[in-house]
Structure 1
Amino acid sequence: MDLRIGIQNSPRELAFETSQTAAEVEQAVAAALSGQAPVLRLTDAKGTVYVVPAAALAYVEIGTEEARRIGFVG
């Protein structure tokens, strides 16, 4: 699934693919925004860990869990 995370006062966004489900990502974001966790911690498909302070989150865009198609569309 594709994720895009906007960070306050930063002109760039974090964009990466993760193997986590949409429900897992949504739960982590909700915990960070409610104050249960001081940071949003997510792992991409290659194992890289991203840690963003909860206070700096501007938005989190959760993409679809659909697998990419390979080949020609007929």
Structure 2
Amino acid sequence: MVVKKFNSGLTASGRSQPEIRQGSEWRDGQGDIVTIKNHSFNRVIFTREGYEYPCTQPVQRFLQEFTPVEERQ
């Protein structure tokens, strides 16, 4: 049996999700801005404006609840 590969032209390229980088800003569902302090393989540590303690979330939950903020000019 010979299996032919079908190329639909719909191959994925590039990143499927935004990159989490130290110092980048993200917006939560309520519109509040958070700043990334650290990112390891499965945790994101960030701070909220007006809140002095760092917050921690798993990467998957963070990506579901936050969107990256466009670069300010």
Q: Fold-level match, TM-score > 0.5?
A: no
- Higher RCO, Cα 8 Å, sep 6+: 1
TM-score with structure 2 setting the length: 0.35
Q: Which has the higher helix share?
A: 1
Give the TM-score of the pair, scaled to structure 1. 0.35
Greater C-alpha radius of gyration: 2
